[in-house]
Structure 1
Amino acid sequence: MDEINTSLLLKRPVNLKVIVTARWKEEMQQQLQSQINQLDNQIQQIEMQEKRAVAELQKQNISSSSPQINQQIDNVSLQANHKKSEILEQKNQFLQQIQQVQVVELDQEVVQGQIENFFQVRKGDNLIQKLNIEIVIRDGVIEEIRGDI
């Protein structure tokens, strides 16, 4: 029996590791600080939107004195506080990441993330070995490709 299809193209995750350098640490801290600054801006925007909405509702309350407006004011404040707490949680995660970046030792390998890659398999290949692959970079330059390409 003659096999026409002898291989298959698959997609796999590839672990991306970086070798910690002073440059990498500085860049990571800058990126994280930039994200923290964006979150701080979001919190300020939410607070300004909340103040405007509450002020508008209070104006309506003066003219109509409806108990529903007080409930609306409470709802606006509750929603704003909920959004702010979510953002503060993210900010705390970034602050923890900054601390981790500061204490990681130079020349240590750190997982940076994953990318995807297509690869060919044939009958008889060890799929587990083909799936275990990682790229190691130093300051953006590939130093090593580990695994069965």
Structure 2
Amino acid sequence: MDPSQSYLLLKRAVNVKAVVTPRWKDEKQQQLQLQIDQLDEQKQQLETQEQRMVAELRKQIIRPDDPAMAQQMNNFQLQVNQRKSEILERRNQILLQLQQVQLLDMDQEVSEGLIEGFCRIEMGDNLIRKMQIEVLLRDGIVEEIRGEL
């Protein structure tokens, strides 16, 4: 290794935090409400498909007492009910998140997730400190970078 190039570029996870502001709260609530609306629409579409499929299956049934047809109808209903349950569970999770957002105090810091970034390390650097970095945003603007660059 050439001593003049005794450094390494490493990929690292950068923790992104946001300061709770009225604007942040409004945007977060709108995002969550949009997700709820989309789930409601998915559930409605699923129910419409279910009604069509049940009607179609009933048309195809020659003998209503045929165990194979009854089993097919049962399997279909189980799949639809499972999908409805998944949608409702996800909807309830988002509603809980919405309530939590409403209860947050102004100027509180909340985690927004992780992004990847690169850092340069050289001989003698403290790798642990280099890997621990955080970016603080206020309404989308970088307010502070915490940790070793």
TM over 0.5: yes
1:90-131 deviation line (CA, Å, top 9, x unaligned):
111100100010000000111111111011111111011001
User: Given the alignment of the two structures, is residue 71 of structure 1 paired with residue 75 of structure 2, yes or no?
Assistant: no
After TM superposition, the score normalised by the length of structure 2 is 0.94
Q: How far did residue 87 of structure 1 move?
A: 1.1
Code of the aligned partner of 2:139: D
Look up the match of 1:43.
43
After TM superposition, the score normalised by the length of structure 1 is 0.94
| SS at structure 2 position matched to 1:11 | strand
Structure 2 distance, partners of 1:17, 1:23, is 15
Q: How far did residue 33 of structure 1 move?
A: 0.4
Report the count of equivalent residues: 148
Look up the match of 1:21.
21
Preserved CA contact (<8 Å) 1:58 1:69: no
Look up the match of 2:129.
129
Structure 2 distance, partners of 1:37, 1:16, is 27
Q: How far did residue 50 of structure 1 move?
A: 1.3
Root mean square deviation of aligned Cα: 1.4
1:63-108 deviation line (CA, Å, top 9, x unaligned):
3443211111111110011011111111111001000100000001
Unaligned segments of structure 2, at least 5 residues: none
Structure 2 distance, partners of 1:67, 1:97, is 45
Look up the match of 1:30.
30
Residues 100-115 of structure 1 aligned to structure 2 (within 5 Å): 100-115=100-115
Structure 2 distance, partners of 1:19, 1:57, is 54
Unaligned segments of structure 1, at least 5 residues: none
Residues 46-57 of structure 1 aligned to structure 2 (within 5 Å): 46-57=46-57
Code of the aligned partner of 1:32: L
Structure 1 distance, partners of 2:93, 2:68, is 38
Q: Percent identity?
A: 57
Structure 2 distance, partners of 1:105, 1:2, is 53
| SS at structure 2 position matched to 1:110 | strand
Instruction: Select between 105-114 and 2-11 the one with higher mean Cα deviation.
Output: 2-11
Runs of 4+ residues deviating >6 angstroms: none
